[in-house]
Amino acid sequence: MLFQRDVLDDAMRRLPAAARRELRRVVEPLDEEFRRKTLPDPRAAELSAWHAQAWWRQRIRER
């Protein structure tokens, strides 16, 4: 999930405005579901700067 979400974030930054809005419309409910099914990791920022850069890398989930 993590690397795929990074790709989506990159696409949302690079796409033209209309395509960006459409992709966000699809991704936002998935992000909400991911937030509901995971917990914040209070130690994520301590792991690396990479973890600290994006909220989805700072979640505890089942593997």
- Total number of domains constituting the chain: 1
Q: Is 38 helix (H, G, I), strand (E, B) or coil?
A: coil
Q: Supply the pLDDT for residue 1.
A: 53
2 pLDDT above the threshold of 90: no
- Name the DSSP letter for residue 53: T
Residue labelled with tokens 């209309």: 18
Q: Which residue has the higher pLDDT, 23 or 51?
A: 23
Q: Supply the pLDDT for residue 61.
A: 82
Provide the domain limits for residue 44. Answer: 2-60
Query: Token pair of 30, please?
Result: 């998935």
Residue 6 burial by CB count (10 A; 0-12/13-18/19+): exposed, middle or buried?
A: middle
57 and 44 in contact (C-beta within 8 Å)? yes
